[in-house]
Structure 1
Amino acid sequence: MSFHHRMMLQRYGLGCTTSLYSEVLFDPIFTPIFTAVLGTGAFNIGVASISYASIASAIATTAISIGLQALLAQAPKPPKPEDGRAPLNQAIPFRVYAVGRTRVAGARMMWEAKGSNLYSVQAIAGHRIKSFNRFYLNDDEVTVVDNVVTPLTTGGRYGAGSANVRLYTRLGANPETPYAELVSALGADGIWTNDHRGDGQASLAMRAHNADAQDQQTAFPYGAPSPSVEIDGAYCWDFRDPAQDPADQSTWTWTRNSAIILAWHLCFNEFGFGLDYQKALVPVIDLWKEEADICDEDVPLAGGGTEKRYQCNGWDTTENGPKSGLNAILATCDGHLVARGDGARILTVGKFRESRTATLTDADIVGHNVQYGVLFEDECNRLVPKFTYPATNYTSCDTDFFEDTDAQIAAGRVLTMEGSYEWCHQWRQARRLGKRDWLRQRQEVKGSLDVRLSGINSVYARWVRLETPKRLPKLDGKLVENRRSIVALTKGGFTMDFIEHPEGIDDWNPATEEGQQPPVPPAVNASEIPTPVINLIQAKANGGSVYIRVVIIDPADGSLTPVVRYRVADADGLGTPGAWVEQQNPSAVPSGGYIDLSTGNVPSDKVLDIQVAFIASNRRYSNWSVTETVTSTSDPIPPDALTSFTLTGSAPRLGNASFAFSTGNDAHARTVQLYRVATGAAFDQDTATLVGTRAVGPSASYTFTDGDASRSSFVTNGTFSSDASGWTLGTGWAWLSGAVKKTAGTAANLTQVYGSLGTEVIRYGFDVVGRTAGAVTLGMMGAPNVNGTARTTNGSFRERLTANGTNTGYRFLADATFDGSIDNVYAYPETPSCAPQGVWDYYAVPRNGSDVAGPASGPVTATII
């Protein structure tokens, strides 16, 4: 094909494009014209047919979770979860970052023996973390009280005779606090001094004291103890919370939400991609909020209760580069990441929505390559989801697999693939992710499309609907999933790899699809007592109070007494957990392989940490189970919508707006919150301005005023109802039919003297009506004058002018060509409690006693002068 012919085709593609026209200008996803190829996000690959060399030009990509063989061999992967048991020993170790809750040993920074003591320091994470939760020495979980490893669960290990082990932690503040005991012992030799603070570095220090010779083997049967810890990792910016500032890390929160963690990794992780959040996130922040909310959706469990849809927990080192962590995060939420030409990143997690769907027509496609079957070497008839299991001390584990026995018989063998979800720690979540990959893998329709520039919207979308009765009649009306798109101008614009979207991919029946909890091998502590394995946690409301139901796997040992303990995860509002409260369940009876436990009444509407242990007849404890988190919601039923919500009073609304609302016969309604947003803006409780809260009861009426109700206008005769008294009319101004009108000819003022206005802010409101030409400007008279904005159209206007201490009145300065009228003039001094000027939409949201929101009422629109 000649160069001239190619350029003709390119011009034709540009001529067909809709991306330059107004209907796309209001589309938050696709507005920017594509001007740059994908950078960092391009390193994610989705299916095995993708060549690794083409990554640099990718626009939209999905996570590696299956695909295997050659592709996965080249793709970087995070360390295996088992690698978190022992610290890295290197001269210059790679730094570590961690998100969610995970087990990690970090990298050894110091290992020194002096006298009878061994000292060590490990860099756990290269950033601030939330907490240290559990401690391990070698493979033994140990209890630490006041920095000392206690013999509660060790059976003499690490505490026999004169032996003892102390563990110290630092969360990674900047500046950080030195380890005083290590400085005292090693500072004089210059080994570890007060300058070894580790600013911004979470760390773990150990001092192990030798036992007497006869006790050494009992105290340290595996030699020198090697510590590792379970931590709650990085704080992240939750962009849904107005109180959190992306520029102030002290306002951030710890989270397991996959979308929020991905945003942190892209923009804020020192070891991530380092994108500018103002370019990568802010232009599409509403789309990120939608994905974060989906990740936080409650998914029902077969045994009762719920868990979050998509959570992320894991750690990685800088040896791998940021793309391995990115892919691991995407795999936890079946994520699809798009890089726009303006630098914005768009995430779409695994839940189909029509809003994330684009359309491709015959006119948009210049070439195609479609498979209507699966090659034998690509066939899979069994998919095994793999995840990291905290119940086995953070090791890789399989869930129940998905398989097609008929396909296995036809193939004559089992063809297995593994779904790799290493940063997923919930077995049920791994099953849900595995189902999605299994259904995709079973699809026979897949291939690639060469797309013109007119189809630019589709390359940014995760799902594409085909309207192709001529080019692809078999796929006309079908929904396909965009697995990867790259720039390919020689093929018309873009090349898109796709797969037909499986029907029922979002369906989930926990009773039949959840499967069985993976078995946990009997893991006993040094006291030979097995560690409990939690199956589910559920908050149960009970007459205004709440207790916690805990189901554990039956250890088949009637001599063990299960004990549940809980604590408030954030007792002081600063992230500090409360004290543990224990409750034994000696009368619990096993049933069907499980033991159903319950606590007494717990603090209502709090986030609680839950653990379970066994107590043997000799009163020794097992290790505590993996920590689970639950919210003790005492009233899960949302209140009904309000029966009425109206604006009261009349215009002008000077610094305030008043409302009336009524509740129905609903005992769940406890409060009503009123919100304010700019008129026409979408209502989002996370971003709207909360203007007030009213305590309410059933079948009652209430009022509420937003702003300062004491304001009144100091303008005399501002409505000009019968004349222009109180005003001085310049040349060309005259009263006419309830307003004052000026005719063109001479520049002149309409003025009113008020007296000294001080230095306060004065709010004004006025109407310009019947204007046919010229401009009129509101101002305040004095030395100097204070002028507002020239008005050259008809309408109702609002202004804020700051008096300078010399102003004695206000005026309307009309130029010589102005022809029009002024009416409805108001002015008053602003106070800090005044509602802001503008046109606002108000919403009212009822909430129950557990802060569960009911349906919003509104919008009710108010104009505030």
Structure 2
Amino acid sequence: MPQLIAGPLFSFLISSTAIATTVAGPLATAIGYAVFAGGAFLASTLLAPDKPEVPKPDDGSYNLKQSVPSLAYVLGTTKKGGDYAFLEEKSGTAYHIIVWAGHRISGFVQHYLHDDKVTLDGDGDVAAIGGKYSEDAVRILTRVGVNASSAYSDVVTKFPTIWNNNCRGDGLASVLMRVRTAKSEDYLDVFPNQMPEHSAVGNGALLYDPRKDSTQGGSGSHRYENPSTWEFSKNIALMRLWHLCHPVGGKMSYTNMYLPDWINAATICDQNVTNRSGGTEKRYNGGFWFRASNDPIEVGRVMDEAAEMVVYQRADGKIGVHAGEYVAPDITLNAVNTHSIRVDKNKRRSATVLGVRGRYVNTAKDYITEDAAIYGDPYGDVDDSTERTKTFENALIQSHNHCQRKQKLVYTRANARKVSIVADYTADDVRNVPYRRFVTVHYPSRGLVNATVEITSSVSIDLRNMRISFSGILVDSDLYAFNAATEEGVPGESVEPLPDDGVPDPVDFAATIETEVVSGGATAAFILATWDFEDDTLTYELEYDRTSGSTGVQSVFSNAGDTQVRSGYLVDGEEYKCRLRAYGGGSKSDWTDYIFLTATADPVAPGAVTSVSATPGSGQATFQWTAPNSANYFACRIYINTVNNFGTSTLSATEYGPPSAVDNRTVVGLAAGTKYAWLVSINPSGVEGTAVATGSFVVT
């Protein structure tokens, strides 16, 4: 039964479309390739499932993991993720091979890991951003998709049984992202968002430019039959020409293109226009991406809409294009050659558009889609039956000025007077209407005096009655005029993501030596660290060590929300260094600077030594003293100087002994001459008593 239905349907579609192809006029964007491809294509699209729409810019913000994804094509400059071709791990290192585009590209401009712009060194290693991606955790290598590429040697070496030198990826622009695991204690600092997600800004396909082809009236070495002569471009007309002649688009030949039209369209696209800041930019340039599975009609519509182009078939069968410019009409329709005319003033309040909203891709803000300023005044009429606004959005448009110019055109066309005309096909020049975008209509009785009509529908030809019919809107010759200084609005502020500052560093970190009595009545010293309160979810690590390094680094952790922590007991009299950092959410802050402290379990100085004397000799001197009757006496220090100044004297020896004992010490290696000495008692914490001078003596 389906065959019985399909048979007559196919027959009808083929015959009717063949007639339309023969007599087709300017093709509206919505018609696209349907007329070119013939009835068979139209019938197949009616019976086949709908193809996916052209992806929005935000759709490329992640990498796709599936068995056999449809190839991605990139035109102009855009930001997108890629499609996984390989993902394996060995010895703690993951290897990701991601296909960014299914064709040769000009090159990669900027790499991203998640939302972080990253910088690569000469080896492809990602420079750390604070603690992120530190210690060469991520390496990025690329291939631009030349016809004879090379395999990624790291992957071949690690996985020779499943990936060898024949796995080159010819004609595929790809990325190898190698990710090394981090220490468990550093993992969330190095990879705070877990495994990195790669995306990149890249310059897409190389395009043929007939303006640079000396064999087609241009000047240069471009040849449409030799893609190696092509160059990268953001020119939308050149993108459209490429798409019409590519297997994922119109599947046509460049010999079927009327290249003078395309040369003019490309020139219009590259005209300089002034934006609201006073700078210049190209009239119709941009960038976007799509998949081979996307509807080629829809892909073509995006390009036609962005550059104000109308693709049509000429009388000689070649494919021409009306560029996004006003062309003075050379055909006039009047009461003599017009059978009927209907004018719609388009003043119904329910259909009036008061404002046009627009959305565009902001390349200055990492290619996010933003709202443009509203063109018009959507609040100018409070009648609820009024269609207040239209919304314009095109994935190819990458500047606010470009979007505003398109919004003005949408506004103008939505509110323009509409006309429908049936004319005499045999009258002079009327049969050329299908190959024009603008015509003049002079019909004073209907209020049209040398009025310019932009044809907005396909042109129908009735050869039986020798009539031609079409619809359009009334426009002025300044249709494309745009004064950015007065007409381009200021876009609203977009939400700026706050930078990830990570765990906050400790504030007002301080450390002191404190003491407490332990078992047996002895006194022990410890470090007490304090800081300002930040958040009750944070914990803090105090790290301390002898400056001599003899005991190794030790750490203690606070409870969450505390503002102090203490160390273990210290070796009395030793100098220590300590520092602090915060922990939160599995990550940590930077360390504070070191604070240096000396452990002092007993802060009370012992009594001074007594009965001091110095007996000089040859290159030496013998010192004698009586230790004080202090329970905390520990030793006597001997300071020597060549002048009578204790402040600049040098510690020459330390003699340990019990309290109240008579003790002595011989210091050798002294230079001949007059010397001065001071004997100082100390307790076990190194706290000194009063210095006692020996007086001068002469070493021989």
Name the TM-score, length of structure 2 as normaliser. Answer: 0.61
CA distance in 2, matches of 1:343, 1:397: 41
> Which residue pairs with 2:133 in the alignment?
158
3-state SS in 1 of match to 2:65: coil
> Which residue pairs with 2:442 in the alignment?
467
Shift of 1:147: 4.3
Q: Residues 114 and 343 of structure 1: is their aligned pair in 2 closer, same or farther, counting only changes over 3 Å?
A: farther
Shift of 1:491: 7.0
Shift of 1:103: 0.6
1:278 matched to 2:278? The reply is: no
3-state SS in 2 of match to 1:450: strand
Q: 2:495 aligns with which of 521, 530, 535?
A: 521
Q: Deviations along 1:431-465, whole A, 9 cap, x unmatched?
A: 1121122111121x114223443322112211111
> Which residue pairs with 2:78 in the alignment?
102
> Which residue pairs with 2:333 in the alignment?
360
> Which residue pairs with 2:523 in the alignment?
none
Shift of 1:476: 3.7
1:322 matched to 2:307? The reply is: no
- Unmatched runs of 5 consecutive residues or more in structure 1: 1-32, 46-51, 60-73, 529-617, 619-865
> Which residue pairs with 2:197 in the alignment?
226
Task: Answer yes or no: is the 8 Å Cα contact 1:483–1:497 preserved in 2.
Answer: yes
Q: Residues 393 and 105 of structure 1: is their aligned pair in 2 closer, same or farther, counting only changes over 3 Å?
A: same
Shift of 1:56: 4.5
> Which residue pairs with 2:482 in the alignment?
508
Shift of 1:158: 2.1
Shift of 1:493: 4.4
Task: Answer yes or no: is the 8 Å Cα contact 1:450–1:493 preserved in 2.
Answer: yes
Q: Deviations along 1:117-156, whole A, 9 cap, x unmatched?
A: 111111111111101000011222211222434335x222
What is the identity, as a one-letter code, of the residue corresponding to 2:474?
E
1:84 matched to 2:60? The reply is: yes
3-state SS in 2 of match to 1:166: strand
Task: Answer yes or no: is the 8 Å Cα contact 2:438–2:455 preserved in 1.
Answer: yes
Aligned residues between the structures: 462
> Which residue pairs with 1:182 in the alignment?
155
Shift of 1:112: 1.9
What is the identity, as a one-letter code, of the residue corresponding to 1:324?
E
What is the identity, as a one-letter code, of the residue corresponding to 1:36?
T
3-state SS in 1 of match to 2:308: coil
CA distance in 2, matches of 1:166, 1:82: 25
> Which residue pairs with 1:255 in the alignment?
233
Task: Answer yes or no: is the 8 Å Cα contact 1:450–1:492 preserved in 2.
Answer: no
1:395 matched to 2:356? The reply is: no
What is the identity, as a one-letter code, of the residue corresponding to 1:331?
E
Shift of 1:163: 6.2
Shift of 1:115: 2.9
CA distance in 2, matches of 1:380, 1:350: 23
> Which residue pairs with 2:382 in the alignment?
409
1:146 matched to 2:122? The reply is: yes
Shift of 1:113: 2.3
Shift of 1:324: 2.0
CA distance in 1, matches of 2:75, 2:229: 17
3-state SS in 2 of match to 1:221: coil
CA distance in 2, matches of 1:429, 1:306: 11
Of all paired residues, the percent bearing the same amino acid is 27
Shift of 1:502: 4.1
CA distance in 1, matches of 2:337, 2:490: 47
CA distance in 1, matches of 2:192, 2:431: 65
Q: Residues 488 and 287 of structure 1: is their aligned pair in 2 closer, same or farther, counting only changes over 3 Å?
A: closer
1:450 matched to 2:422? The reply is: yes
Task: Answer yes or no: is the 8 Å Cα contact 1:485–1:496 preserved in 2.
Answer: yes
What is the identity, as a one-letter code, of the residue corresponding to 1:133?
V
Task: Answer yes or no: is the 8 Å Cα contact 2:455–2:470 preserved in 1.
Answer: yes
CA distance in 2, matches of 1:406, 1:493: 44
Shift of 1:488: 4.5
Q: 2:270 aligns with which of 278, 283, 296?
A: 296
> Which residue pairs with 2:321 in the alignment?
347
CA distance in 2, matches of 1:376, 1:76: 36
Q: Residues 212 and 383 of structure 1: is their aligned pair in 2 closer, same or farther, counting only changes over 3 Å?
A: same
Q: Residues 76 and 90 of structure 1: is their aligned pair in 2 closer, same or farther, counting only changes over 3 Å?
A: closer
Task: Answer yes or no: is the 8 Å Cα contact 2:311–2:321 preserved in 1.
Answer: yes
CA distance in 1, matches of 2:387, 2:230: 48
CA distance in 2, matches of 1:90, 1:365: 59
> Which residue pairs with 2:8 in the alignment?
none
Task: Answer yes or no: is the 8 Å Cα contact 1:384–1:416 preserved in 2.
Answer: yes
CA distance in 2, matches of 1:449, 1:213: 76
Q: Residues 55 and 210 of structure 1: is their aligned pair in 2 closer, same or farther, counting only changes over 3 Å?
A: closer
Q: Residues 336 and 403 of structure 1: is their aligned pair in 2 closer, same or farther, counting only changes over 3 Å?
A: same
Task: Answer yes or no: is the 8 Å Cα contact 1:123–1:203 preserved in 2.
Answer: yes
Q: 1:217 aligns with which of 181, 188, 201?
A: 188
What is the identity, as a one-letter code, of the residue corresponding to 1:453?
Y
Moved more, 110-119 or 227-236: 110-119
Moved more, 140-149 or 330-339: 140-149
3-state SS in 1 of match to 2:211: coil
What is the identity, as a one-letter code, of the residue corresponding to 1:300?
T
Task: Answer yes or no: is the 8 Å Cα contact 2:346–2:415 preserved in 1.
Answer: no
Q: 1:418 aligns with which of 391, 394, 400?
A: 391
3-state SS in 1 of match to 2:331: strand
CA distance in 1, matches of 2:52, 2:488: 30
Q: 1:235 aligns with which of 206, 216, 236?
A: 206
Shift of 1:300: 2.2
Shift of 1:177: 1.2
Shift of 1:380: 1.9
Matches within 5 A, 1:374-773: 374-404=347-377, 407-411=380-384, 415-443=388-416, 445-454=417-426, 455-469=430-444, 473-489=446-462, 492-502=466-476, 504-526=478-500
CA distance in 1, matches of 2:22, 2:119: 54
Task: Answer yes or no: is the 8 Å Cα contact 2:209–2:238 preserved in 1.
Answer: yes
Q: Residues 350 and 131 of structure 1: is their aligned pair in 2 closer, same or farther, counting only changes over 3 Å?
A: same
> Which residue pairs with 2:113 in the alignment?
137
CA distance in 2, matches of 1:194, 1:178: 5
Q: Deviations along 1:327-368, whole A, 9 cap, x unmatched?
A: 1111221222212354322222322121x6533233443344
Q: Deviations along 1:697-745, whole A, 9 cap, x unmatched?
A: xxxxxxxxxxxxxxxxxxxxxxxxxxxxxxxxxxxxxxxxxxxxxxxxx
What is the identity, as a one-letter code, of the residue corresponding to 1:381?
L
RMSD of aligned C-alpha atoms? 2.9
Q: Deviations along 1:78-98, whole A, 9 cap, x unmatched?
A: 111111111222221111111
Shift of 1:325: 1.9
Shift of 1:377: 4.9
Shift of 1:374: 4.3
> Which residue pairs with 2:29 in the alignment?
44
- Unmatched runs of 5 consecutive residues or more in structure 2: 1-18, 38-49, 215-220, 503-589, 591-700
What is the identity, as a one-letter code, of the residue corresponding to 2:165?
N
What is the identity, as a one-letter code, of the residue corresponding to 1:44?
T
Q: Residues 405 and 115 of structure 1: is their aligned pair in 2 closer, same or farther, counting only changes over 3 Å?
A: closer
What is the identity, as a one-letter code, of the residue corresponding to 1:353?
V
Q: Deviations along 1:585-626, whole A, 9 cap, x unmatched?
A: xxxxxxxxxxxxxxxxxxxxxxxxxxxxxxxxx9xxxxxxxx
CA distance in 2, matches of 1:406, 1:91: 50
CA distance in 1, matches of 2:198, 2:92: 18
CA distance in 2, matches of 1:34, 1:323: 17
Task: Answer yes or no: is the 8 Å Cα contact 2:207–2:239 preserved in 1.
Answer: yes
Q: Residues 117 and 495 of structure 1: is their aligned pair in 2 closer, same or farther, counting only changes over 3 Å?
A: farther
Q: Residues 357 and 111 of structure 1: is their aligned pair in 2 closer, same or farther, counting only changes over 3 Å?
A: farther
Q: Residues 398 and 349 of structure 1: is their aligned pair in 2 closer, same or farther, counting only changes over 3 Å?
A: farther
CA distance in 2, matches of 1:357, 1:212: 75
CA distance in 2, matches of 1:108, 1:42: 39
3-state SS in 1 of match to 2:317: coil
